[in-house]
Amino acid sequence: MKKQILLLLLIILIASIFILNKEKKAPSLDEKIGEMLVLGFRGLEVDSSSKIINDINKYNLGGIILFDYDVPSSSPIRNIESKDQVKKLISDIKKLTNENLLIAVDAEGGYVNRLKTKYGFTNIKSALEMGQGEVSETFNQGLILGEELKELGFNVNFAPVVDVNINEDNPVIGYLERSFSKDPEEVYTHASSFIDAMHENNIMTAIKHFPGHGSSESDSHLGLTDVTNTYNKEIELLPYKKLIEENKLDMIMTAHIINKNIDSENPATLSLIFLKDILRGELKYNGVIVSDDMQMGAIADNFGFEESLIKAINAGCDLLIFSNNNKEYDENIAEKAVKIIKEAVLTGEIEEAQINESYNRIKKLKENYNL
């Protein structure tokens, strides 16, 4: 009888160990590709029949990004109307999909902040205003913003900008007060403090726009921006170099700028030289690289949709943003992107190892934030 009991206990123990150690089902290629996509969508609220909910669940999307203004329809109705509405929207999305979704927003402060005072949110100084004051005040501003983001349910802020204010008349950086300073050391110290404030509230950040958009004379939202004759590598890479050395970065966002002295054919987002040789090689960055919006004019007007996706991934982009908030709104953008990327992997245009590397970086980042 004792032998039978011991045998039964042994069987139960072995079964328990087997269950505990049983490997989780390996993610499919489709699931790994989906994890690389961050999607914009329309809607102040969602339910189980909403397109974005179905897309997240069907394609295992890695994240979403919220906006306050719908550019294609020139309408102020998009995703953000009030504090309570945004909080409920994010909460419902998580309930209807999964808890490890990246919920992102552009909240730099100043002119580029989707959480505007007219919707009931706190006024945050622009980067230029912060840069003119004490670093401690930048931290305080970031802390206020971070607390608000956390309360609403966001876990990613596509900020701060670390572009150096080389051209103060730059239409997309200097003119909009998005740079902390023309001094790269000041940019570094204020950006570092801003990041610290976000991290206090468990908010991931993405510094931008690599390798530096501060010297440009045009807007990459509208077309390909050429900085060949204005770019200063030593100055513009300094904030990246120092922040990478600090080991406090979550993500780095690419810029749709071209420097023909470095890569004569491709903007940084699509450039092996910029992303793998310089960012990964020279600067020793091992974290997540996120593209700027792949539907911006700089990419959409100069490269085919399929070509740009394949090039961006092969160049080293881990996450691809599709804001669906430029010239046109395409409700099937997730399906199209997954199909193109998968086909490119199956035909050998993209190595599956590249997909695996990106997937693992994204999952590691999410795990670091308990997602």
How far from chain centre, in Å, is Cα 335?
20
The one catalytic residue among 70, 183, 221, 330: 221
Rounded Cα gap, residues 164 and 357, in angstroms: 30
Q: SS3 letters for the chain?
A: CHHHHHHHHHHHHHHHHHHHHCCCCCCCHHHHHHCCEEEECCCCCCCCCCHHHHHHHHHCCCEEEECCCECCCCECCCCCCCHHHHHHHHHHHHHHCCCCCEEEECEEECCEECCCHHHCCCCCCCHHHHHCCCHHHHHHHHHHHHHHHHHHCCCEECCCECCCCCCCCCCCCCCCCCCCCCCHHHHHHHHHHHHHHHHHCCCEEEEEEECCCCCCCCCCCCCCEECCCCCCHHHHHHHHHHHHHHCCCCEEEECCEECCCCCCCCCHHHCHHHHHHHHHHHCCCCCEEECCCCCCHHHHCCCCHHHHHHHHHHHCCCEEEECCCCCCCCCCHHHHHHHHHHHHHHCCCCCHHHHHHHHHHHHHHHHHCCC
Which positions ≥6 away from 38 have C-beta within 8 Å?
Answer: 61, 62, 63, 64, 65, 102, 104, 290, 319, 320, 321, 322
Overall size of the chain counted in residues: 371
**Is 292 tagged catalytic?**
yes
Phi/psi at 232 (nearest 5 deg)? -125, 100
Q: Which two tokens stand for residue 74?
A: 């020139």
Phi/psi at 254 (nearest 5 deg)? -85, 160
The one catalytic residue among 163, 196, 250, 292: 292
Question: Catalytic positions, please?
Answer: 221, 292
